[in-house]
Structure 1
Amino acid sequence: MKNPDHRTRKIEFYGNSITAGHGVDVPEGGRDSGMPEDFNNYYTYAALTARHYNAKPFIIARSGIGITVSWFPEIMPETYDRTAPLDPLSKWDFTKYTPDIVVINLFQNDSWIVNRPEHEQFKRRFGTEKPSETFIIQSYADFVRSVRSKYPSASIICALGNMDATRFGSEWPGYIQKAVNQLNDKKIYTLVFPYKERGNHPNRKEQEAMSKQLIEFIDRNIKW
């Protein structure tokens, strides 16, 4: 017999490799190889934050995924509502799980691929021209708007980081802020995880720092 789950708080996360836990268990000074043994979602900022609040986590994350373009054909706006990412007919019933807070941490992969016109997914999504700032902002706003349509009462945190999409001078945090401003929703927030000043994916210590920042942000801004 399963033990009953009495947790009442719920947090949902949408993310890429950072949220999935890519590289969390790479040894100090080791190579970020992308091998399965280096993945560990249990020690990601998402899982750590959920445990801090004794909340039920729902984590939708895939390494390499983006909002406008990914390293593979699928993008998050096309797959987030599926039970099987590659099956467009496998629709998730959003009434089965209604989170109090949604955290979106996407755009890292977009920030790389939009500058690679030779990449097949760039060509597939954009043709021969780099997408405009307006297109990028609108695509993000449309995704958040879609999530909001599923969860009318949830607080939504539009986050970014802690890889080089938030390095000094990056335009990507500004794209998110402009999208959120466009939505004009008092329960949609922005949060930037500072660039960790190191290549590769975040390790346990860096994931812990992200969780600490997210917890402090939630405590300061959201009553639940």
Structure 2
Amino acid sequence: MGNFIKKQMLHDGESGISYIGRFDFSDPDGIVFGWSCSTIVAMFDGTEVSAKFQSFGPNYFTVILDDKIIMNSLDVSKDGVFVLAVNLIKGIHEIKMIKRNEFNVGYVKFLGFDFGDGELLSAPKRLERRIEIIGDSITCGYGNEGQNESVDYAPSLDNGYLSYGAIAGRSLGAETIIIGCSGFGIMQSYVGDISQTVPSRYSMIVPEKDVRWDFTKWIPQVVVINLGTNDFSFGHIPDVDKFNKAYIRFIEEIHSYYKNSKVICTVGPLMDGEALIVIKKCINNVILQHFYDKELDFVSFLEFEPQNKEQNGCGVGGHPSIKTHKIMAEKLQSKIRKMMNW
């Protein structure tokens, strides 16, 4: 081990490594990324593989070898070389690493793979179907590996790989990226901070570094928005006029980057009562209608049913359990399959 070849640091597709998500290639020493479910994939011919990381905060990965999870939660929080697999059957293998946690918990610098006496092969073929999931803690899989709402939060309990969007994407055979952050909303955070919104971070590769993304690099056919839970936090009804205008501006921004993409505005599964009634009216009667009035039909609505804690359990702080994420994924993939004829 120890042969971390510099050529592996080149841009996506030039190095034999595929980078699915938003990655910053400007640092010659390594590739920086932060969003949940950012994925690194490589094909190699050999019997072993390790990876080298520099970590900025707690960071965890799901590691998959030849379509089988071999490490559910690899902790790379301490900088160094991490042995992923040894004593493999000699031949061609695929290694995949998926970042489980959010950028506000930590971001990472990838410093390369080492295949021992083996060699890196051509990058795996990319999927043609692409889905972008935009949201908050629900979308990022916050605390979904916690056993109940009373469990103390720890970043190791976040699993973006088992979030509803990621599950749906895999079922649909689509590359799926997540752009989201716990506590963030459309116009404010759950405590009313207007600086902590997803639209304010949406154009960034690594939000903590304020590095801007080139939207021409990866264009999804479907964009899913699940925001508003934090704007309506604790059942509080915000200024709905401001909410509607902020939501419309965000959809218009997305549409400016992805002219031919479908946008699904979703609600749930943590909202209830008057807040749920009001946000559904906002989306259906004002926000979507704004586009329909202009004869634009790229937007639609989907509601996730409120979670059933008694039947399906819940994660940290009452967030959806993995079982609930799977239920949400089934509903989302059904809508996308029908809408896109996938």
Shorter chain as denominator, the TM-score bin is 0.7 to 0.9
Identity of aligned residues (%): 28
Alignment gaps of 5+ in structure 1? 116-129
Q: Give the structure 1 partner of residue 334 of structure 2.
A: 216
Aligned partners of 2:232 and 2:238 also within 8 Å: no
Q: What is the TM-score with the length of structure 1 in the denominator? A: 0.84
CA distance in 2, matches of 1:42, 1:188: 26
Residue aligning to 1:99 = 220
Query: 1:123-142 to 2 correspondence within 5 Å?
Result: 131-142=238-249
CA contact (8 A) 1:166 1:195 kept: no
Q: Does the 8 A contact of 1:107 with 1:165 survive in 2?
A: no
Note closer, same or farther for the CA distance 1:26–1:167 as it changes in structure 2 (3 Å cut). Answer: farther
Bigger radius of gyration among the two: 2
Preserved contact between residue 184 and residue 198 of structure 2 (Cα < 8 Å): yes
CA-CA distance at 1:37 after TM superposition:
2.0
Q: Matches of 1:183 and 1:141 in 2, distance apart?
A: 9
* Counterpart contact for 1:159–1:192, Cα < 8 Å: yes
1:114 CA displacement: 8.4
SS of aligned partner of 2:150: coil
In structure 2, how many angstroms separate the alpha carbons of the residues matched to 1:189 and 1:104? 10
TM-score of the aligned structures, taking structure 2 as reference length: 0.57
SS in 2 for 1:189: strand
RMSD: 2.2
Amino acid in the other structure paired with 2:253: S
Task: Say whether the 8 Å CA contact 1:162–1:193 is kept in structure 2.
Answer: yes
Residues 183-194 of structure 1 mapped to structure 2, 5 A cutoff: 183-184=291-292, 185-194=296-305
- Please say if 1:84 is aligned against 2:213: no
Cα deviations across residues 23-63 of structure 1 (Å, max 9, x unaligned)?
21012x45243311221111111110110011111111111
Deviations 1:145-181 (A, max 9, x none): 1101110000111111111257785311221212011
CA contact (8 A) 2:128 2:174 kept: yes
Which is helix-richer, 1 or 2? 1
Partners of 2:149 and 2:181 lie apart in 1 by: 22
**Counterparts of residues 36-51 of structure 1 (less than 5 Å):** 36-51=155-170
What secondary structure sits across from 2:207 in the alignment? coil
- 2:297 aligned counterpart, secondary structure: coil
CA contact (8 A) 2:231 2:238 kept: no
Q: Which residue of 2 aligns with 1:204?
A: 322
Aligned to 2:288: 180
SS in structure 2 opposite 1:170? helix
2-structure distance, mates of 1:85, 1:33: 26
Task: Looking at secondary structure, tell me which structure has more strand per residue.
Answer: 2
SS in 1 for 2:225: strand
Q: How many residues align?
A: 208
Q: Does 2:230 match 1:109?
A: yes
Cα pair distance change 1:183/1:32, threshold 3 Å: farther
